[in-house]
């Protein structure tokens, strides 16, 4: 189970890096487009359209890594007051809820993609982009998120029955101390990298 989670984490990190590179390329494209308009009076045409696609698939590609890093928001104002057994069950329930959301998103995204392919839809823009291209990336991102969420749910259930205390560390929201420690460590790494 942990090897599957390790593979999922590696793939999620790779997808997040692809998403980051796409945003960086989009930024360069926007700068070139603006400079081209201001200096030469020529626009690249379609930068805004490509920007919309990039933002749509960047969101779906980043969901999995956020989930694995326990970064999705959780309202935990009373959670710490509950006994460990109840907290562990609620953490697994939260994972199952996220898995349900991921499956729901993927199901609807897949339906949208199938309809787009059936009709051969293209954008009503100068680029005339076949809509299945950005939608396929979106479906892949939401599908991977759903798969990772299902995997973490199964892992959480397994921990619930084999090592309940590990559920908190694996799937509970980060504590204030953990978050502060993360930023302190990151700040120290940044300072040492500069010297």
In angstroms, rounded to a whole number, what is the distance separating the alpha carbons of residues 55 and 132?
16
Q: Quick one: pLDDT at residue 194?
A: 63
Residue range 154-176, pLDDT digits in tens: 999 999 999 988 998 888 887 77
Among the residue ranges 34-38, 41-45, 93-97, 127-131, the one predicted with the least confidence is 41-45
Please, which residues have CB within 8 angstroms of residue 112's CB and are 6 or more apart in sequence?
Answer: 135
Instruction: Measure Cα distances from 101 to 29, 98, 104, 145 in Å.
Output: 34, 5, 5, 10
For the chain, first and last CA: distance in Å? 40
Instruction: Report pLDDT digits (tens) over 55-79.
Output: 888 988 899 999 999 888 877 788 8
pTM of the model: 0.85
Q: Where do the structural domains in the chain lie, given as residue ranges? A: 2-193
The 10 Å Cβ neighbour count of residue 80 is 11
């Amino acid at each position: 189970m942990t090897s599957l989670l390790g593979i999922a984490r590696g793939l999620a990190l790779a997808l997040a890096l692809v998403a980051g590179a796409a945003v960086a390329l989009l930024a360069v494209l926007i700068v070139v487009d603006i400079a081209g308009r201001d200096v030469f009076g020529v626009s690249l045409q379609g930068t805004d359209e490509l920007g919309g696609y990039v933002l749509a698939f960047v969101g779906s590609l980043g969901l999995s890594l956020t989930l694995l890093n326990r970064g999705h928001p959780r309202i935990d104002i009373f959670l710490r007051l509950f006994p460990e057994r109840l907290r562990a069950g609620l953490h697994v329930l939260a994972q199952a809820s996220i898995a349900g959301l991921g499956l729901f998103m993927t199901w609807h995204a897949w339906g949208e993609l199938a309809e787009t392919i059936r009709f051969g839809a293209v954008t009503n823009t100068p680029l005339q982009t076949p809509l299945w291209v950005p939608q396929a990336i979106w479906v892949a991102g939401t599908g991977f998120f759903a798969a990772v969420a299902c995997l973490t749910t199964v892992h959480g259930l397994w921990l619930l029955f084999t090592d309940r205390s590990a559920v908190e560390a694996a799937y509970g929201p980060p504590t204030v101390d953990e978050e502060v420690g993360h930023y302190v460590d990151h700040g120290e790494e940044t300072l040492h990298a500069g010297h």
